[in-house]
Structure 1
Amino acid sequence: MIMVVILGTLLILLFTGMPIFAALMLYGGALLLLVQGNLGPVTDIVFHEVNRYMLVAIPLFGFMANLMIKGRVVDDLYDTAYTFTRHLPGGLAVATILACTVFAAISGSSVATALTIGAVAIPQMLRFGYDPRLAYGVVAAGGTLGILIPPSGPMILYGVTTDTSIGGLFMAGIGPGVAMALVFVVWAVVRSMLDGSTKREKMASLPEMVKALRESIWAISMPIFVLSGMYMGIFTATEAAAAGAWLALAITVGIYRTVGWREIWESAIESARLSAMLFMILAGATVFSHVLTKMRIPQQIVETLVAADMGTLGFVLVMMAMIMVLGMFLESIAIILITTPVILPAMLHLGIDPIWYGVLLVINLEVAMITPPVGMNLFTLQAITNAPLGTIIRGAFPYVILMMAMLGVILLFPSLALWLPQMMLGQ
C-alpha cells in the first residue's frame, strides 16, 4: 500500500510538468529526510552510480549517430533498400522498414530513426499514392526498432542498473529485432495488396542491385563493424562505441565529405546534451531507489510475491502490464530507472534471467513509443508531417498489435532471445 501511495504521488508530480530528474531527486530527497532525518551519504551514492565506465558508451553512440545523420548517409541507405524492394507490393513501405532496421543499428534511438527515415520516406510514399495511414504507421513502427536492435541507449541503462552484460543484451536484441522487422514487412506487403493502390515497378537488375549496395556499403558496414567487434572480443560495448564514432568520422569526413568542423561540433553538443539529460535522470532515480531501499520496499515486494506464489510467469505478466500502462504516460528511460531497482530483488529471488527480462522490457517500451497519450514517435511524425494525430495513431495501431504478439512469443519462448548471447558470449 505504501508503494502505491509513493508511486502515485510521483506520477502526480510528473503530470504537473516537473522535469523527471527534478521530481525523482526532490521527492526522493524529501522522503529520505522523513525516513532518517538527514540526506546521509546520498551524494556519494549518486556519484558512484553515475561514475561508471559503461555509461561512456551513451554519448559515444549518440555522437556516432549524429554524425551519420548530418552526413546524410541515410539517403543512400533508403535508395538501396528501395532498389531491392520496388517490385514488391508496397515496395516503398518495405524499403522504409528495411532502412529503419539498418539505421536503428546505427542510431540506437527510436525518435532519431523515425525522424530521419520519416523525413525521407513519407514524402515519397505519399507522392506514389500510398494511404497516409500506411505511410505514417510504417515509419512510426519502424522507428521503434531503434531501441531494440543494438546499439540501444535504454539497454545500456538497463544493463548498468541491473549489472547485466551490455554485450549480452545487445546480442539478445538482434534476433527479436530482426524478427519484428520481418513481421512488419509481411504486414506492409499484405496491407498494400489489400489496399491495391500502391504502385509496383520492374524488379531491379543484378547490376542495379550491385551498384546500390556499393553506394550504401558504408552505412551497412557500421552495425556490422560494431557488433562483430564485440562478438569477436576485439572490444567491449564501450570500446565499440568509441570505435564506431571514429568510423563514423572517417565515413562522413573522409569518404562522403558531407561533414565539416561545424557539423562535428554540433554532433558533439547534441550528444552531450542528450547524455546530460539521461545522467540527470539516472542521478534522480538513484536517490529515489536509495530511499525505497531504506524503507525496505523492495524486500516487502519480494515477501508479497513469495506469499502470493505468483511464480516467474505471473510476476513477468504483472510487470509487463504495469509497464504498458506506465508507457502511456512516461518516457522509456524514466520507466527503466524507476521500476528496475525496485523489482530487481524480486527478479533475482525468482531466478528470472535479466537478459530475457531486458528484451521483454524493451519490446514493451517500443509499444509505448507509438501509443497515446505520450507516444514520442507519434508526436515526432506529427512534427515533420503536420498530419492529424488521429490519422497517425490509426496508422500505427496495427503495429501495436504485432508488437504485443511478438512480446507474447518471447515471453513463452525465452530461447528466441537468449540463444544468440548463449552461443556467442556464453551468457
Structure 2
Amino acid sequence: MISLLLFGSFIALLAVSVPVAISLGLASAVALLYSGKVSSSYIAQGLVTSIDSFPLMAVPFFILAGDLMGQGGLSRRLLNVANVFFGRYTGGLAIIAVVTCLFFAAISGSGPATVAAIGGLLLPAMVKEGYDKGYSVGLIASAGSIGIIIPPSIPMIIYAVSANVSITQMFLAGVVPGFLIGLALILVAYLKARKEKYVGNTERFSAAQKWQAIWDAKWALLVPVIILGGIYGGVFTPTEAAAIGVIYGFVVGLFIHKELKLRDLYKVIAESALTSATVIVIVGTATIFGRVLAIERIPFMIADYIVSLTDNPILILLLINVLLMFVGMFMETLAAIIILVPILLPVVVAVGVDPVHFGIVMIVNLAVGMVTPPVGVNLFVGARVGETTLEKASVGAIPFILIMIVVLLVITYIPAISLFPLKLMGY
C-alpha cells in the first residue's frame, strides 16, 4: 500500500505539472506520514544530510566554472579551432558542432549548458548556410548530451556518490564512450550532409592560420588538461579541481581574454546559483525518495523479481536498458540516477557487472533521454535557442538518437570500452 501511495502520488503530481523536485519531496512526505515508521522530522534531517557531502560540492563549482568560461569567450575560440580544421569538409558545420560540443563538454560537465553555449554561436550560421533548422537543433541537442558522458560530468558525480564508487574512476570510464558517441554522430552528420548536399565552406586555411587558431584558443584547450590531468594524476580531488576551474575561468575571462566584465559577474553567478540550487534540491528530495524505497525494501523486491525472471547478465542488462530509456523520456537525469541506483545496482552486481561500467551504461542511457521527448531537456534548450518548435527539433534528432542507441548497446556488452582506461591507470 505504501509503495502504491509513494509512486501513485509522485506520478499524479508530475501529471499536474508539479516540478520534479517538489513532486519527489511531497510523495516521500505522504508515504512517510502514512506509514508512521519515522517521525516527520526525518524529511528535514534527510534533506540536510543528503547534501552534506564533500564530493557533491563539485557540482556547483563545475556549473559556475562552465558559465564563467562560456561568458569569457572560451567556447567561441573552441569553435574557431574546429572551423579551421573541419569547416571545409562536406557537412563541415555539422562536424564542427559535434567537435566543439566534445571540447565544451570537458569544460561545462552539463548537457543543457553545452547546447546553450554552442547552439547560440553555431545555429544561426548553420541556418544561414542552408541547413534545416530542426535538423540543426536535433544535432546540437544530441551532441550536447555528450556533456554528461565526457568528464567532468555532473551526473557522474551524483552516480558516484549514490553508488559509493570513485568519482575519478567514473571520469576515466567516460572518456572512450564519450568520444565513441561523438564519432558516431559525426558519421551520421557526414552521411546526412552528402545526401542533402550540405557542403562545407570553400575557404582553405593555411598551416599558419590553423596554428593561430590553436594559439588563440590555448587557454580553452588547457582546461581539460589542467582539470582532468590534475584529477587523474592525483594532484587534487574532483571537488578541488572544480574550484580550480572556477578560478581559472574567472582569471582567463576577466584578465586574459577580457570578455568577462565585472558587470557581468552578478548575472553569471546568479544564473549558476539558480542552476545549482535546482540540482541540490533534486538531490535532496530524490535521496529522501530513495530512502523511503529502502525502508519499504522495494529495491530488494524488484531485484529479486528481475533475477527470478532470468540470471543471464545479457538479458538483465537489456531489460535495464529498456527501463532506463523509458525513464529517461519522462524523468530528469539526476533524479533518475538517485532513485534508480539503489534499485538497479544490487541487481547488476549480483550477476557480476562492474558498478563503474554500469554507471556508464546508466549515464549513456539517460544522455539519450535528454534528446527524447516529452521531457528531453536538451531539445527544449535547443528549440529555444534555435527559435523552432519542439516537434521539428525532435524529428531532426531521430537519426542521431538511433546511432546513440547502437553505441549504447556496444558499450553495454563490451565492458572493456569503459573499463580499459581504468586498467591502464592501475585501478
**TM-score class normalised by the smaller sequence:** over 0.9
- Residue 406 of structure 1 is matched in structure 2 by 407
Following superposition of structure 1 onto structure 2, how do residues 6-405 of structure 1 map, counting pairs within 5 Å?
Answer: 6-39=6-39, 42=42, 43-405=44-406
- Structure 2: unaligned runs, 5 residues or longer: none
- Please identify, of 336-345 and 217-226, the stretch whose mean Cα deviation from structure 2 is larger: 336-345
Q: Is the 8 A contact 1:147 1:366 kept in 2?
A: yes
- Deviation sequence 1:239-259 (CA, Å, 0-9, x none): 111111111122111201122
SS in 2 for 1:100: helix
Q: Is the 8 A contact 1:67 1:263 kept in 2?
A: no
Q: Is the 8 A contact 1:302 1:349 kept in 2?
A: no
Aligned partners of 1:303 and 1:96: how far apart in 2?
A: 44
Distance verdict in 2 for CA 1:62–1:378, change over 3 Å: same
Q: Which amino acid letter does the alignment assign opposite residue 121 of structure 1?
A: L
Q: Which amino acid letter does the alignment assign opposite residue 162 of structure 1?
A: A
Q: Which amino acid letter does the alignment assign opposite residue 27 of structure 1?
A: A
- Please identify, of 36-45 and 390-399, the stretch whose mean Cα deviation from structure 2 is larger: 36-45
Q: Is the 8 A contact 1:114 1:380 kept in 2?
A: yes
Q: Is the 8 A contact 1:66 1:267 kept in 2?
A: yes
- Please identify, of 224-233 and 307-316, the stretch whose mean Cα deviation from structure 2 is larger: 307-316
Aligned partners of 2:188 and 2:204: how far apart in 1?
A: 21
Q: Is the 8 A contact 1:35 1:295 kept in 2?
A: no
Aligned partners of 2:324 and 2:121: how far apart in 1?
A: 32
Aligned partners of 1:35 and 1:347: how far apart in 2?
A: 30
Aligned partners of 1:266 and 1:140: how far apart in 2?
A: 24
Aligned partners of 1:132 and 1:21: how far apart in 2?
A: 32
Q: Is the 8 A contact 1:130 1:197 kept in 2?
A: yes
Q: Which amino acid letter does the alignment assign opposite residue 290 of structure 2?
A: S
Aligned partners of 1:137 and 1:317: how far apart in 2?
A: 26
Q: Is the 8 A contact 2:33 2:40 kept in 1?
A: no
Aligned partners of 2:91 and 2:304: how far apart in 1?
A: 53
Aligned partners of 2:180 and 2:392: how far apart in 1?
A: 27
Name the % identity.
32
Q: Which amino acid letter does the alignment assign opposite residue 251 of structure 2?
A: A
Q: What TM-score comes out, normalization by structure 1 length?
A: 0.94
Q: Is the 8 A contact 1:168 1:425 kept in 2?
A: no
Q: What TM-score comes out, normalization by structure 2 length?
A: 0.94
What is the CA-CA distance between 1:373 and the residue it aligns to? 1.4
Moved over 6 A (4+): none
Aligned partners of 1:180 and 1:355: how far apart in 2?
A: 18
- Please identify, of 402-411 and 16-25, the stretch whose mean Cα deviation from structure 2 is larger: 16-25
What is the CA-CA distance between 1:335 and the residue it aligns to? 1.1
- Deviation sequence 1:319-359 (CA, Å, 0-9, x none): 22112112222211121122112223333333321111111
Aligned partners of 1:28 and 1:77: how far apart in 2?
A: 44
- Deviation sequence 1:104-126 (CA, Å, 0-9, x none): 11111111111111111111112
What is the CA-CA distance between 1:8 and the residue it aligns to? 4.4
What is the CA-CA distance between 1:96 and the residue it aligns to? 1.3
What is the CA-CA distance between 1:416 and the residue it aligns to? 0.3
- Please identify, of 192-201 and 322-331, the stretch whose mean Cα deviation from structure 2 is larger: 192-201
What is the CA-CA distance between 1:260 and the residue it aligns to? 3.0
Q: Is the 8 A contact 2:90 2:198 kept in 1?
A: no
- Please identify, of 301-310 and 151-160, the stretch whose mean Cα deviation from structure 2 is larger: 301-310
Q: Is the 8 A contact 1:175 1:417 kept in 2?
A: yes
Q: Which amino acid letter does the alignment assign opposite residue 408 of structure 1?
A: L
Q: Which amino acid letter does the alignment assign opposite residue 70 of structure 1?
A: Q
Distance verdict in 2 for CA 1:48–1:325, change over 3 Å: same
Q: Which amino acid letter does the alignment assign opposite residue 170 of structure 2?
A: L
Q: Which amino acid letter does the alignment assign opposite residue 187 of structure 2?
A: V
Aligned partners of 2:380 and 2:79: how far apart in 1?
A: 22
What is the CA-CA distance between 1:304 and the residue it aligns to? 2.1
Q: Which amino acid letter does the alignment assign opposite residue 87 of structure 2?
A: R
- Structure 1: unaligned runs, 5 residues or longer: none
Q: Is the 8 A contact 1:61 1:244 kept in 2?
A: yes
What is the CA-CA distance between 1:16 and the residue it aligns to? 1.3
Q: Is the 8 A contact 1:129 1:198 kept in 2?
A: no
Q: Is the 8 A contact 1:96 1:142 kept in 2?
A: yes
Q: Which amino acid letter does the alignment assign opposite residue 30 of structure 2?
A: A
Distance verdict in 2 for CA 1:7–1:196, change over 3 Å: same
Q: Is the 8 A contact 2:69 2:75 kept in 1?
A: yes
Distance verdict in 2 for CA 1:149–1:331, change over 3 Å: same
- Deviation sequence 1:186-205 (CA, Å, 0-9, x none): 22122111222424424321
